[in-house]
Amino acid sequence: MGRRDLAVVTLLARLGLRAGEVARLKLDDVNWRAGEIVVVGKGPRLERLPLADDVGEAIVDYLREARPRVRCRALLLRSLAPLVGLSSAGVTAIVVRAGARAGLVPIGPHRLRHTAATEMLRTGASLADIGQVLRHRRLQSTAVYARVDRDRLKTLALAWPEVKS
């Protein structure tokens, strides 16, 4: 379970996937040669995202060391019978348990989507780039996710001029 849970949390936190998107991933959605992952987003949209090294490593570790050998084509499986693909609720339960183990206030998978956006912003990605990764149609949607790093803004802000009496 630990390897599977790490793969789930890594997909959410690094690629900003939604819980349902993680749950719908199939083995064939990972294109190792091209270094990308196909995500079924909202509606019938298929999107290709680059497969970050740490995400790929977490998936490989789960597939090689922990995933049971079953006919099910879901990438991530339940840990108890029947061994079928995780549901959105299963993905949420994994995140809630991981957060509790880390001593965090209760968090859900959507918080990790915000984390991914904030981290991309912190490393210099534009809102347009972040919106592309999060698969938003409008830039306004992305702005909600990419929370402002106040400490970083302080270095850019001009000092307020003092008023002389």
Residues with catalytic function? 18, 42, 110, 113, 136, 145
How many whole angstroms from its chain centre is CA 22? 8
Bond prior to 82 in cis (omega within 30° of 0)? yes
- β-partners of residue 74 are 26
Six-digit token string for 40 = 């079924």
- What residue has token string 């959507």? 110
Phi/psi-derived region of residue 142, left when phi > 0, alpha when psi is between -120 and 50, beta in every other case: alpha
Q: From residue 11, how far is each of 134, 139, 157, 160 by CA, in Å?
A: 12, 22, 35, 42
Question: Are 78 and 5 a contacting pair, CB within 8 Å?
Answer: no
